[in-house]
C-alpha cells in the first residue's frame, strides 16, 4: 500500500510538472509560432501570433500579442497589438464560444468577407483604441481611436459583425462616405438585417450632429430625428452637384430635420446664418414626396452666382399635390419681394396668388435676352400670377449696344400667365406699367407708360407712350403668340426730335430739328437670328417746315 501511494504521488507530481511545463511553454514565442502555423495550415485563415500570455490576476483570460489575421487570398482583416480572450462555461460544449473578446491597439477591416464565417463567437466583442476600415459600395469608412462593444458577437458569412446584436461605438475621428467627423458616439442594434441607430452624435463641420435613424434591409433609411447645429461647411461642389449627391443617396424618409445657424459655401453659391426645419419628406431617385410635410427656413443671405437674397423667410406646406407657399419674403437688389401661392405637381405649375415687388434697384444681366429664351427646368412648366404689383423700382440695362434705364417704375397686373410649356412669355392676362423717367440708348423720356392684354393667340399692347421735351411718342403693338413672336408696331411721334429713331437703330434721316414721325414696323421678337435682320418697316418723317422724308427697311 505504501508503494502504491508513492506511485500515485509520483504520477500526480509528474502531471503537475507537465501542466506547469505546458503552461510555461505555452507562453513562449515557439508555442505562439506553432499555434499560428497549425491554424494557418488547417483552416481557411492565416494567423500570426507573436506571444501568448496569462496572468493569475485574471485566471479566466489569456492574451495574444502581435496578432495578424486574414482569410486565404484576401486582404488582411485584423492587426492588433493585443487580443484578450475571456473563457466561459459555455466553452465546455462550444469550445469556440468565448465570454468576451477584446481587440486592442490595431486595425480591423470590417469590409464584407465572402466565404466561410469566422470560427469564433463571444458574448461580447470589445474594441479598444482600434482603427476601423471598410471600402464597400455602401460603406466607405475610416475611423480612428475607436472604442466599441457588440453583444452578442456571432459573425456569419458576409456579416463580420453579425446580424442580430446591440452595439455601442465611439471614435475620435471618422470619415464616412467622404464626410469627415470627430468625437463620434453611436448606440444601436442590428436586428434582422436592419441597422437601428437609437442615438448618434458627432462633431461635424465645426458644428454638432445628433439624431435617431434606421436602415432597412433594402438599404432605405428612416430618419426619426436629425439635427445639425452651427455647421460651417465648405465644398468645391456647385449647388447642382451638391443636390445631386444628396438625391443619389438611398431612399430616405425624414420625419424631422433641423439645420440651425448654419453657414454653407460651395462653388458659386453660399448660405449664411441659415435656420431650416423639414418634416415628413421622402427623398428617392432625385424626387421627393410628402404627406402633411413642411419646410420652413430663414437666412441672413442666400447667394447663387449674381443672385443674392437678403433675409429670406419661407414657410411651406408639402403634400402629394405639391407645395403650398404660405409665406415667401426677401430683400433683393435693394428692394422687397413678397408672395404666396402654390406649386402644383401634376402640371408643374407655379401659381402665385399675389406678387409684390417694391423699391428694386436691378441691373439686368448682360445675357438677359438669352435667359428669357432659355427653356425652364423640367419641374417648372408654367408660372401664373393672380395679382402683381410693383412700386418705385429702378431697372437698368448696361448693354453697350442698347443701354436703357427706367426709374420709379410702378405697375399692376392680373391673371398673368408668365410661362407656358417651360418658356417665358406673357401668355394671358393684363399688365399696366408706368415710370417717372426713362433713358433708351441716350434718349430721355418722361412718364413712359405701357398697357397690354394677352391671350393664347396674341398680345395686344393698347398703350405704349412717353413724353419728350416738347412732344409725345405713342405706339400700339400686336404680338402673335406663334413661335418667333411675330409683331406689328405702329408708332406716331408728334413734335419730337427727328433723329430719335436713329438713336434706336434706324438709318439716318436727312432732316433736322423736331417734327412728326410715323413708323410701321414688322419683325420677330424671338427669332433665331439677330433681331434687326428680321425687321421690315416704313417711316415717314415730317419737319416743322413741312419737309417730308420716307424710308424703307431694309
Average pLDDT for residues 424-431, to the nearest whole number?
95
Task: Identify the DSSP state of 236.
Answer: S
pLDDT in the model for residue 317: 97
Residue-level pLDDT at 6 = 55
Instruction: Give the pLDDT score at 114.
Output: 54
* pLDDT for 15: 52
pLDDT digit string (tens) for 432-482? Answer: 999 999 999 989 999 999 999 999 999 999 999 999 988 999 999 999 999
Segment 30-86, tens digit of pLDDT? 666 676 777 777 778 888 888 877 666 777 778 888 888 888 888 888 899 998 888
Total residue length of the chain:
554
Model pLDDT for residues 1-28, shown as the tens digit of each residue: 565 655 555 555 445 444 444 444 445 5
What pLDDT score does 270 carry?
A: 95
Alpha helices by DSSP H, 365-419: 368-373
What is the residue extent of each domain of the chain?
468-554
Question: For 361-498, where are the alpha helices, taking DSSP H only?
Answer: 368-373
**How far is the C-alpha of 334 from the C-alpha of 312, rounded, in Å?**
13
DSSP string, 322-389: EEEEEEEEEEETTEEEEEEEEEETTTTEEEEEEEEEES-EEEPPTTHHHHHHSPPPTT--EEEEEEEE
Nearest to 518 by CA among 489, 547, 486, 544: 489
pTM score of the predicted model = 0.83
Nearest by Cα to 191 from 158, 247, 152: 152
| Other CB atoms within 10 A of residue 56 CB | 5
User: H or E stretch including 7?
Assistant: helix 2-26
Average pLDDT score over the chain:
88
Largest CA distance in the chain: 159
Three-state SS for 235? coil
Please tell me the distance from the alpha carbon of residue 105 to that of residue 471, in angstroms, as a whole number. Answer: 91
- Residue 208 predicted with pLDDT over 80: yes
Q: Which three cell numbers stand for residue 337?
A: 419681394
Place of cell 413661335: 483
pLDDT at 219: 86
Q: List pLDDT tens digits, range 492-508.
A: 999 999 989 988 988 88
Query: Could you tell me what percent of the chain has a pLDDT over 90?
Result: 58
Confidence of residue 261 (pLDDT cuts 50, 70, 90): very high
Q: Residue 109 corresponds to which cell in the numbers above?
A: 477591416
Q: Are 473 and 486 a contacting pair, CB within 8 Å?
A: no
Phi, psi of 180 (to 5 degrees): -80, 145
Give the Å distances, CA to CA, from 39 to 68, 75, 237: 12, 18, 50
Amino acid at each position: 500500500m505504501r508503494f502504491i501511494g508513492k506511485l500515485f504521488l509520483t504520477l500526480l507530481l509528474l502531471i503537475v510538472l507537465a501542466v506547469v511545463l505546458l503552461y510555461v511553454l505555452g507562453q513562449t514565442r515557439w508555442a505562439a509560432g506553432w499555434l499560428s502555423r497549425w491554424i494557418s495550415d488547417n483552416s481557411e485563415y492565416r494567423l500570426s501570433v507573436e506571444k501568448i500570455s496569462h496572468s493569475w490576476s485574471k485566471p479566466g483570460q489569456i492574451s495574444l500579442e502581435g496578432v495578424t489575421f486574414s482569410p486565404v487570398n484576401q486582404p488582411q482583416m485584423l492587426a492588433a497589438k493585443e487580443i484578450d480572450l475571456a473563457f466561459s462555461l459555455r466553452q465546455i460544449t462550444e469550445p469556440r464560444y468565448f465570454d468576451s473578446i477584446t481587440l486592442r491597439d490595431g486595425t480591423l477591416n470590417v469590409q464584407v468577407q465572402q466565404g466561410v464565417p469566422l470560427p469564433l463567437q463571444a458574448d461580447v466583442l470589445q474594441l479598444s483604441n482600434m482603427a476601423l476600415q471598410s471600402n464597400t459600395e455602401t460603406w466607405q469608412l475610416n475611423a480612428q481611436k475607436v472604442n466599441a462593444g457588440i453583444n452578442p458577437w456571432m459573425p456569419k458569412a458576409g456579416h463580420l459583425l453579425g446580424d442580430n446584436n446591440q452595439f455601442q461605438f465611439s471614435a475620435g475621428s471618422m470619415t464616412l462616405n467622404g464626410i469627415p467627423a470627430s468625437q463620434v458616439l453611436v448606440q444601436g442594434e442590428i436586428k434582422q438585417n436592419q441597422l437601428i441607430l437609437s442615438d448618434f452624435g458627432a462633431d461635424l463641420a465645426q458644428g454638432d450632429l445628433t439624431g435617431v435613424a434606421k436602415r432597412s434591409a433594402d438599404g432605405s433609411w428612416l430618419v426619426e430625428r436629425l439635427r445639425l447645429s452651427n455647421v460651417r461647411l465648405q465644398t468645391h461642389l456647385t449647388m447642382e452637384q451638391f443636390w445631386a449627391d444628396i438625391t443619389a443617396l438611398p431612399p430616405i424618409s425624414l420625419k424631422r430635420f433641423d439645420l440651425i445657424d448654419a453657414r454653407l459655401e460651395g462653388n458659386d453659391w453660399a448660405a449664411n446664418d441659415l435656420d431650416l426645419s423639414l418634416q415628413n419628406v421622402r427623398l428617392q431617385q432625385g424626387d421627393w414626396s410628402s404627406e402633411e410635410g413642411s419646410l420652413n427656413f430663414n437666412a441672413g443671405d442666400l447667394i447663387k452666382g449674381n443672385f443674392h437674397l437678403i433675409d429670406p423667410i419661407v414657410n411651406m406646406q408639402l403634400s402629394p399635390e405639391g407645395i403650398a407657399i404660405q409665406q415667401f419674403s426677401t430683400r433683393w437688389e435693394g428692394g422687397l419681394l413678397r408672395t404666396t401661392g402654390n406649386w402644383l405637381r401634376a402640371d408643374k405649375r407655379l401659381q402665385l396668388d399675389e406678387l409684390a415687388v417694391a423699391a428694386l434697384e436691378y441691373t439686368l444681366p448682360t445675357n438677359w435676352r438669352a435667359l428669357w429664351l432659355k427653356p425652364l427646368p423640367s419641374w417648372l412648366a408654367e408660372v401664373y400670377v393672380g395679382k402683381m404689383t410693383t412700386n418705385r423700382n429702378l431697372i437698368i440695362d448696361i448693354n453697350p449696344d442698347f443701354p436703357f434705364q427706367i426709374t420709379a417704375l410702378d405697375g399692376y397686373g392680373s391673371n398673368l400667365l408668365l410661362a407656358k410649356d417651360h418658356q417665358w412669355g406673357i401668355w394671358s392676362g393684363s399688365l399696366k406699367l408706368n415710370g417717372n423717367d426713362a433713358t433708351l440708348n441716350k434718349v430721355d423720356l418722361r412718364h413712359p407708360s405701357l398697357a397690354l392684354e394677352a391671350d393664347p393667340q396674341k398680345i395686344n399692347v393698347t398703350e405704349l407712350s412717353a413724353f419728350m421735351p416738347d412732344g409725345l411718342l405713342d405706339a400700339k403693338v400686336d404680338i402673335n403668340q406663334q413661335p418667333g413672336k411675330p409683331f406689328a408696331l405702329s408708332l406716331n411721334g408728334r413734335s419730337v426730335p427727328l433723329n430719335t429713331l436713329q438713336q434706336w437703330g434706324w438709318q439716318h434721316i436727312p432732316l433736322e430739328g423736331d417734327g412728326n414721325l410715323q413708323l410701321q414696323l414688322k419683325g420677330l421678337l424671338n427669332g433665331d437670328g439677330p433681331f434687326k435682320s428680321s425687321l421690315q418697316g416704313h417711316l415717314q418723317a415730317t419737319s416743322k417746315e413741312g419737309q417730308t422724308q420716307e424710308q424703307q427697311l431694309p
